[in-house]
Amino acid sequence: MSNGIGRREFLSRAWKWGAALIGVAGGWTTWDILQPRVTGGFGGVIKTKAADTVPDTNVESIRAARTYLTKIDGQVVALSEKCPHLGCRVPWCDSSGQFECPCHGSVFNRAGEYRAGPAPRGMDRYEFETIDGIVYVDTGAPVSGPAIGVETLNEPVRGPSCEDSSHG
Ligand code: FES
């Protein structure tokens, strides 16, 4: 008799433990699926910095992601540093407040929108996710930059071009 009750109690507890384990495993799987696939290298998802520290009047270069982060109207934008013309790295010029490609002279505003030169469009962008306040940039699939003629950012040229000064 006491053995029967013991068995029933044992089975009851086993069921509860089994159900609890299944719940934990399900929760872990859900949490794991929702985490960004951080590869640590260019071509994957790269952890960058806190969204609230991304500059809103300037840009910040994230070399590991070959990306510039900036904010436009309070929203983070991740720009590919690769020129849409022939792929040179486009540096940011503080004095003019523009991106200025040293290879053939393409110029883009802080939002990566086309201003001048042979580039066929604005600078490409990366999609990103903000998780717990941190910006994770997906460098695997750049999104084509805006067409020539699209200039939504009302920021005039600040001053002298870096390209003019670098050529003397
Ligand atoms: S590669 Fe930038 S303008 Fe040609």
Task: Identify the pLDDT of residue 33.
Answer: 60
Range of the domain at 21: 1-34
Task: Identify the pLDDT of residue 7.
Answer: 75
Helix (H) or strand (E) segment spanning residue 8:
helix 2-34
| Count of domains for the chain | 2
| Residue 117 beta carbon below 6 angstroms from any ligand 1 atom | yes
| Residue 62 beta carbon below 6 angstroms from any ligand 1 atom | no
| Residue 85 beta carbon below 6 angstroms from any ligand 1 atom | yes
Residue nearest to atom 3 of ligand 1 (CA): 104
Indicate if 56 and 15 belong to the same structural domain: no
Low-confidence ranges of the chain (pLDDT < 50): 1, 168
CA of 121 to the centre of ligand 1 (A): 11
Indicate if 90 and 155 belong to the same structural domain: yes
